[in-house]
Structure 1
Amino acid sequence: MADSLNHIDGEEVPAASRLTRSLIDPAAGLPHGTAPLSGPEDVDAACRAAQAAFPGWAATPPGLRQSALLRTADAVERAAEALADAEVTDTGKPRALFLRDELPAIVDVLRYFAGAARNLPGAAAAEYTPGRTSILRREPVGVCAQITPWNYPLMMAVWKVAPALAAGNTVVLKPSDSTPSSAVLLARLAAEHLPPGVLNVVCGDRDTGRSLVAHPLVRLVAVTGSVRAGQEIAAAAAADLKRLHLELGGNAPVLIHEDADLDDAVSQLSSLAFYNAGQDCTAATRILVHHRIHDTFLSAFAERAAGRRPGAPDDGYADFGPLASASQLATVRGMLERLPVHAEVVAGGAALPRPGYFHQATVVAGVRQQDEIVQGEVFGPVVTVQPFADESEAFRLANGVPQGLAASVWTRDHDRAMRASRALDTGIVWVNTHGTTVSEMPHGGVRHSGHGSDLSLTGLLDYTQVKHVML
């Protein structure tokens, strides 16, 4: 059993009430530890610590903030095995994939924003009216409340924390109630290099998050989560006119034209669509295929999907792990059990008869645009395949859902790819690939996928406010 604690003002402390909740290992379906069930008193302590630390951290020269973040990145890199222990036990994901794919990207984000701390843009001085010189300053916002999800606990924490700290803000982070362990360990590692109160972590449930969003010292709320959670948080934040940064659900369309390299598309998508058991807001969940190659693609893709292997964290041959919780498994099962009669499961379709929350990689064909499984975000190892007749119908189907986070188009035609990049109503468009993120480019969506961007200089600027100074 491994127990986590809150990290407040540089100290690790239990909830004031001493209440805890069990953490469940999704690969076994059994408890593996506990985390604090924090209440308003704990949230208040964390926010007050962040507010007290803010003036000093905001006034810290960017070069020193950079140095602190670089040292934190080095500490994260050195603690790879301990972080893998925490992440894998909470999520059940394959350990080798976390160490190979996620941890290096996490370290890179910290190092990118360490450099970006020294490159905040500001307008050059100029005289826009006689005898007066105007300057624009970019300044930190203040105390930032950040709420992160359970699918990539450490990565999403770093995507939020790194730009906020680089810009000179202080943070109160509430990780998911089911996967807090790696975020708590991150705070412990960072505490060696940051002043007390700059980064605080408060564990708890939805009520803890509600207390954090409502706290009067919080000036910006950033969340990665479901559309429903984003709507609730936006409504609560409006009461105090808090700034919002919302990265919400996805339901990514994939457009495969008849001139696409089918072997390449099948190879890439059969891996990318099921990575992390499909629990990814940019996962390739809706594959739209030109009608002339639909059957050929579907046959090849279903065959490859059937070979994708779910497995335990220590299974070196596993392509993905379990779903994160019993409730998430039930959500996926429910959507498959409610499929209309015209839909057909052509690969997978079942939960595995073993301990834990494992599910087969699943492909569903014959769906129609208004079906629940097309309109809703499954957030599991499930992909739908639909035909389209021409380019205009492809765009109509791709954009015909509430979400607008990411999409990809597969074609050898440059002009067609450029038309798609304009027509797809999403924050990200990939061409002949899917799912790749880099620290230098923004990650965010439109419509019900939220607003604001993680990563990139754009993401850094989201954690600043502009001040006009006239001399």
Structure 2
Amino acid sequence: MSALSPLRNYIDGAFTDAADGRTTLVVDPSTGEAYATAPLSAAADVDRAMAAAEAAFGPWRDTTPARRQLALLKIADAVEARARELVDAECRDTGKPRRITATEEIGPMVDHIRFFAGAARLLEGKAAGEYMDGMTSIVRREPVGVCAQVAPWNYPMMTAVWKFAPAIAAGNTVVLKPSDTTPASTVLLAEIVGDVLRAMDLPAGVFNVICGDRETGRLMVEHRTPAMASITGSVRAGIQVAESAAKDVKRVHLELGGKAPVVVFEDADIDEAVEGISVAGFFNAGQDCTAATRVLVHESVHDAFVAALAKAAADTRTGGVDDEDVLYGPLNNANQLKQVAGFIERLPAHAKVEAGGHRVGEVGYFYAPTVVSGLNQDDEIVQNEVFGPVITVQRFTDEDQAVSYANGVEYALASSVWTKDHARAMRMSRRLDFGCVWINTHIPLVAEMPHGGFKKSGYGKDLSSYGFEDYTRVKHVMTAI
């Protein structure tokens, strides 16, 4: 076996190993073989990163919004200039197709950084005024402080941007931990940010990245320094973070799981719906908390829809990073492959696998595009997040039943409605209990609009001015006149 590439933490503008020298293996999911090592950061490493972020907070907070904006714009330019390196790192960690990663992720990442660069100069608050006789009140919108952030493995570099960009734009400093299975692109992002900060003579500790496992994340969240904890991950992880953060009454931002309902009415264009839903369900191997994985179809078009969706699944390919004809690559890790396969193995007798339902190949963690029909609302695969290339289909009789089925899960992140009836689409958008409702489309995101859910999908928003506000605090100042 060839020598493993060493990844390192990035703290206070410099690369460093874990204090005790411990490492973990980083596996290429396309092969199932380790290709790198990463630090297994412990308490001493967390202390060091938090100290760097805390030391940088004062001068960074006091940097003008215009200067912070300029730094973010330069970071966006640098990300664009080093796109090939970032794509290489991301694909090695995730197995994603190189072409799709380059076209679908780099552009939005750069745009999101530039959006928050602008947001840095658009802080909002109530107008100053005399709301009490003889007194003038003003509102200050201030950064929260040091932010402890934990990113997931499904979109490592994209979610890293979603976390650090609004945080530092608002004047906060960051300690971010990528998933232990996908650290490479985040470490590279830290280097890119660090180079810009150094060139502008700005504090080196504004953005720090430490690698590690769940214990590392727990140490970060429970550390006394951060004023805020932010995580994108599972419901289980979110609950643990909220519990840990509660000990110091830290602010918490949670973007957790999803089980997006996709409601297809009898008047929908079936061909367009199948095309849009199959891509939105299988993209990134279904490893997306907004993925179109739970389809509800009116009984009058159910059979035709299932047949068309099964054909679309059969025509969809998974494969290696350099295969330009595939839609998605492998599942991220061996445990995830086991989880997805387990859902299919445990299907009840009344369920029918219309397409897929099996592993692809013996090397790596590839799983076939899968469609399952004949399901009941209380079936495990309907109620729980699969996080794989699996689309389930249920039938409904009327609008009320569609709403009941759609809302009848613990998640509430995203949803979509497919119909030509505008009034019905508006009724459904009001009744669906999800943070996002798409109409005749599914999965597009834009920097100006918020992304975040309700119920067990968490709270707080990514993207948009709403997400920016999560990283600021409001102070009232009153003076006698």
Distance (whole Å) between structure 1 residues aligned to residue 357 and residue 8 of structure 2: 39
- The alpha-carbon deviation at position 368 of structure 1 amounts to 0.6
Distance (whole Å) between structure 1 residues aligned to residue 11 and residue 126 of structure 2: 37
Show the 5 A alignment for 1:130-279: 130-194=133-197, 195-279=203-287
Pick from 51, 54, 62 the counterpart of residue 54 of structure 2.
Answer: 51
Aligned residues: 471
Pick from 310, 326, 338 the counterpart of residue 318 of structure 1.
Answer: 326
Pick from 328, 339, 353 the counterpart of residue 331 of structure 1.
Answer: 339
- The alpha-carbon deviation at position 280 of structure 1 amounts to 0.3
The answer for unaligned runs of 5 or more in structure 2 is 198-202
Partner of 1:101: 104
Letter in 2 for 1:303: K
SS in 2 for 1:320: coil
- The alpha-carbon deviation at position 224 of structure 1 amounts to 0.3
Show the 5 A alignment for 1:282-361: 282-361=290-369
- The alpha-carbon deviation at position 436 of structure 1 amounts to 0.3
Q: Which runs of 4+ in 1 moved over 4 A?
A: none
Letter in 1 for 2:390: V
Distance (whole Å) between structure 2 residues aligned to residue 271 and residue 153 of structure 1: 20
SS in 1 for 2:353: strand
- The alpha-carbon deviation at position 290 of structure 1 amounts to 0.3
* 2:76 is the counterpart of 1:73: yes
* 2:124 is the counterpart of 1:116: no
Letter in 2 for 1:441: M
Partner of 1:445: 453
Partner of 2:200: none
SS in 2 for 1:197: helix
Pick from 431, 442, 454 the counterpart of residue 423 of structure 1.
Answer: 431
SS in 1 for 2:124: coil
Partner of 1:41: 44
Distance (whole Å) between structure 2 residues aligned to residue 337 and residue 170 of structure 1: 46
- The alpha-carbon deviation at position 2 of structure 1 amounts to 2.4
Deviations 1:102-148 (A, max 9, x none): 11100110000001100011221111110101111100000000000
Pick from 397, 406, 413 the counterpart of residue 398 of structure 1.
Answer: 406
- The alpha-carbon deviation at position 215 of structure 1 amounts to 0.3
SS in 2 for 1:49: helix
Letter in 2 for 1:282: T
RMSD: 0.6
The alignment's TM-score, normalised by the length of structure 1, stands at 0.99
SS in 1 for 2:105: helix
Pick from 26, 31, 36 the counterpart of residue 28 of structure 1.
Answer: 31
Letter in 2 for 1:380: G
SS in 2 for 1:218: coil
Pick from 368, 373, 394 the counterpart of residue 376 of structure 2.
Answer: 368
Distance (whole Å) between structure 2 residues aligned to residue 85 and residue 31 of structure 1: 16
Partner of 1:380: 388
* 2:15 is the counterpart of 1:12: yes
Distance (whole Å) between structure 2 residues aligned to residue 129 and residue 105 of structure 1: 46
Pick from 449, 455, 468 the counterpart of residue 463 of structure 2.
Answer: 455
Letter in 1 for 2:138: I
Distance (whole Å) between structure 2 residues aligned to residue 114 and residue 176 of structure 1: 26
Letter in 2 for 1:16: A
Distance (whole Å) between structure 1 residues aligned to residue 254 and residue 24 of structure 2: 27
Letter in 1 for 2:271: D
Partner of 1:64: 67
- The alpha-carbon deviation at position 306 of structure 1 amounts to 1.0
Distance (whole Å) between structure 2 residues aligned to residue 305 and residue 394 of structure 1: 24
Report the identity percentage.
58
* 2:130 is the counterpart of 1:127: yes
SS in 2 for 1:193: helix
SS in 1 for 2:205: coil
* 2:94 is the counterpart of 1:91: yes
- The alpha-carbon deviation at position 354 of structure 1 amounts to 2.7
SS in 2 for 1:135: strand
SS in 2 for 1:467: strand
Partner of 1:470: 478
* 2:429 is the counterpart of 1:434: no
SS in 2 for 1:284: coil
Distance (whole Å) between structure 1 residues aligned to residue 125 and residue 427 of structure 2: 34
SS in 1 for 2:186: helix
Distance (whole Å) between structure 1 residues aligned to residue 105 and residue 192 of structure 2: 18
Distance (whole Å) between structure 1 residues aligned to residue 5 and residue 262 of structure 2: 41
- The alpha-carbon deviation at position 4 of structure 1 amounts to 1.0
- The alpha-carbon deviation at position 294 of structure 1 amounts to 0.3
Distance (whole Å) between structure 1 residues aligned to residue 424 and residue 44 of structure 2: 56
Deviations 1:200-256 (A, max 9, x none): 001000000010000000100000000000001100110100000000000000000
- The alpha-carbon deviation at position 444 of structure 1 amounts to 0.1
Letter in 2 for 1:406: A
SS in 2 for 1:106: helix
Deviations 1:295-337 (A, max 9, x none): 0101011111111100100111111000000000000001110
